[in-house]
Structure 1
Amino acid sequence: MVSIRPTFLSLFFLLLHLPCFTPSPRRRSRSTAPKTSFFSFFKRLFSNSNPPPPPPPPSRRSPSSSTRSLRLSPTLDIHPCSACGEVFQSPPLLERHRSTHHLVSELAADDENIVRIIFNTGWPNPARTPNIERILKIHNTPAITSRFEEYRERVKSRAAAAPPPRRDERCVADGNELLRFHCTTFVCGLDSGDECGRLYCSLCGIIRSGFSPKMDGISTLPTSYAAHVSMPADMEAEFEFMNVRRAVLVCRVIAGRVGCDPWEADKEDPGFDSLAGRGEGDDEDEILVFNPRAVLPCFVIVLNCFKP
């Protein structure tokens, strides 16, 4: 009788060592992401983009139902809101939604520290710098941002067409964009990203639709201190019954060609785009901008009342 024990043992050891001959999966190389530069971080800080919404949960509908819905509406055009994820069927509806919702939002800790540094620069007495109650980022609608960029291109093209003696290279490069401050008032609580729609809330009106074209000039100042003291110190106390408070706006301003004489620059003069203030003290560096499209508010800084 022939014994099969050696053959059986050989097969058993072969199966036992078979995983040793299978190729091992390759390890994925970890690539280090490039470090973000300070310029790109600062550009992201002043951009109007909102963080993308979290991905929706996977749908439980069967493939047949999804295919059926696509066949019923092959030309369906959707426009989701980048802040809340709500979907709209046309850009005007999305624009209307964004013009009344998600206009302001809280800042992250790192971004808030940068805005605080920008605000604190220029105060003559650092010990009397007011406490900042809140810092909010303004999410301008695409229409307001487009008007701002279109105005910049118009200023650049006009400066490029000027003869050499009047040619301003800074205007040709970026329209002479400056970082300026503007002080305004508000009566709402700024509790959410919605604008209040009240008649006397100037801040919400600026955030919703920009500065009014009926103004003789939009005052922009080089420091937050100059913007703060441009209003009477007892303004909050005088209008306390209406809950009126002041806020400082950090704005991007297309100053263009700045005139120095009030008789040389006005709304109708095509040679100048703004006028430099000729006052004394804090108003000597004031720039009056004539076109409301030239001012793009970026941040709202709410201060606690104090006596300078």
Structure 2
Amino acid sequence: MSAHSSYTPNATCCYPGCREGAWQNPDGSYSSFCSKKHRDAMQQSNGPSPSVGGAKLCKNCHSRPVYVDAGRTHDFCGQRCSAQYQAGGGTQKRLCKNCHSRPVYVDGSGTHEFCGKRCRDSFQAGVAGAQGNRRAGICKLSGCQKPAYVGPDGVSSDYCSRAHRTLNQGVQDDGELCLLCGQRPKVFINGKMSDFCSSRCKDDTFGSTPIILNISSDMASFQDVTKQFTDQWKHSTTVPAIVKIWKVYCHKSHTDAFLSYKLDVERNTRIVGGNSRRRWHGTTRTCTIGDSENKGDLCKDVKCSICRIIESSFHKGNMGLFGPGIYTSATSSKSDAFVKELSGSYPAMSRNDVAKSIAFVKGLSGSYPAMSRNDVAKSIAFVKELGSPYKAMLLNDVVLGKTIKMTTGDPSLAKPPHGYDSVIGEPGGVLDYDEAIVYRNDAIRPLFLIIYNG
């Protein structure tokens, strides 16, 4: 599909009479049409640069473009209009008995009185278009107070628009709420369950990136990530309990670059989705982001790898057995070994230090000896709760593409061997557990921030 140069998430098909949403390309851009059929029809009617105004219209209804197939341009938009035209002798159109605006339906059994079942049922129910319209109710989409749409036949819809009908019919049965507003149910967008209730909440989120949004424990994604974390804990230690899970939205520029690279790899390798996989990454956290619902802001510490990754994703440079690259693993317990919690600016406090701190804060002068500068610093660290009782790990979307499996390390690698997109370190040689290495920032993006017991 040819894409617009601008990103228009609310685009509709340019084919005359079509109200479907425009096709969204894997890179996030939008086409001018909902399908290749409508695009090709317009191109064959109007040339390489289709324009709505120049479309050849149906000889019968004079409102829809003619049907085009196999290079042939027909006189009618479809078999129905062709039959109607022939039934009317080519000069007259018999109009629907109910709406008096559309031609009657014609099939092998003869010429009917109505244009379709809807008008037939409407007429039989006593709400004919010629007799007056039925009063419209209120749109059934939660939170919408607009009147429902009333068609030319006088029949009222349940919704104010096709968009709201699609939204409401796409709501999950379990009623999971929008990650941003938490007020309305999530909906399907382009056939896929969204994190949001509407395009507005989606656009507001991506307009505020980098940002993390809390996933409640009753959501399907919380259970899915928890299961992956548990199933992929291969060490003999007890699997830690997960405390919080956050959905990560890094900067839009990186998301666009990631999706573009993913599409390129898919085209080059012909592997669906560019062989993207969810992989774990353990790193350093110097703050308490994610520990509770009121700790969703990124810190400014350049040493806090967690916040810097969420902010702008990864950057090649970690030195390992396979050279400077971005290392992840399918084994959560292996990534746990690389987690470093440096949120405490001072070493763990002894019982006496804690007592001094309490005395200092409560102003119990005289109860304990005068505090040194170091004691004051410890007290401030203690009072501000700079330490975290938890650990943090990232679950990421990694485009692996065509992989090469290696059991022997090669620190000289600065990119995958020729013809490959990533390196897989296989257990059995120098490794006890797997590794996946990519060598470019746009090959990976963080998906989830997991907070778990240390």
Shorter-chain TM range is 0.5 to 0.7
Q: Contact (CA 8 Å) 1:277, 1:283: kept in 2 or not?
A: no
Match of 1:82 in 2: 204
Match of 1:223 in 2: 331
Cα distance, 1:138 vs structure 2: 0.6
Output the amino acid matched with 1:205: R
> Structure 2 CA distance, aligned partners of 1:154 and 1:248?
29
Match of 1:260 in 2: 405
Q: 1:182 aligns with which of 272, 277, 281?
A: 281
Three-state SS of the structure 1 residue aligned to 2:209 is helix
Match of 1:74 in 2: none
Three-state SS of the structure 1 residue aligned to 2:226 is helix
Q: Contact (CA 8 Å) 1:175, 1:255: kept in 2 or not?
A: yes
What is the aligned-residue identity percentage? 24
Question: Is 1:275 aligned to residue 423 of structure 2?
Answer: yes
- State how 1:150-189 maps to structure 2 within 5 Å: 150-159=260-269, 169-170=270-271, 173-189=272-288
Question: Is 1:148 aligned to residue 258 of structure 2?
Answer: yes
Match of 2:209 in 1: 98
Q: Which has the higher helix share?
A: 1
Q: Contact (CA 8 Å) 1:266, 1:274: kept in 2 or not?
A: no
Three-state SS of the structure 2 residue aligned to 1:98 is coil
Output the amino acid matched with 1:302: I
Q: Contact (CA 8 Å) 1:184, 1:246: kept in 2 or not?
A: no
Cα distance, 1:213 vs structure 2: 2.8
Cα distance, 1:201 vs structure 2: 0.7
Q: 1:201 aligns with which of 292, 298, 304?
A: 304
Question: Is 1:128 aligned to residue 264 of structure 2?
Answer: no
Q: Cα–Cα, structure 1 residues 240 and 131, in superposed 2: closer, same or farther, change >3 Å?
A: farther
Q: Contact (CA 8 Å) 1:260, 1:277: kept in 2 or not?
A: yes
Three-state SS of the structure 2 residue aligned to 1:104 is strand
TM-score, reference length from structure 2:
0.42
> Where does the alignment leave 5 or more consecutive residues of structure 1 unmatched?
1-21, 55-79, 84-93, 160-168
Question: Is 1:298 aligned to residue 443 of structure 2?
Answer: no
Cα distance, 1:136 vs structure 2: 1.0
Q: Contact (CA 8 Å) 1:258, 1:273: kept in 2 or not?
A: yes
> Structure 2 CA distance, aligned partners of 1:295 and 1:36?
29
Three-state SS of the structure 1 residue aligned to 2:213 is strand
* Number of residue pairs the alignment of both structures matches: 229
TM-score, reference length from structure 1:
0.60
Cα distance, 1:118 vs structure 2: 2.6
Match of 2:314 in 1: 211
Structure number with greater CO (CA < 8 Å, separation at least 6) is: 1
Q: Contact (CA 8 Å) 1:236, 1:246: kept in 2 or not?
A: no
> Where does the alignment leave 5 or more consecutive residues of structure 2 unmatched?
1-130, 138-155, 159-164, 175-187, 319-323, 348-385
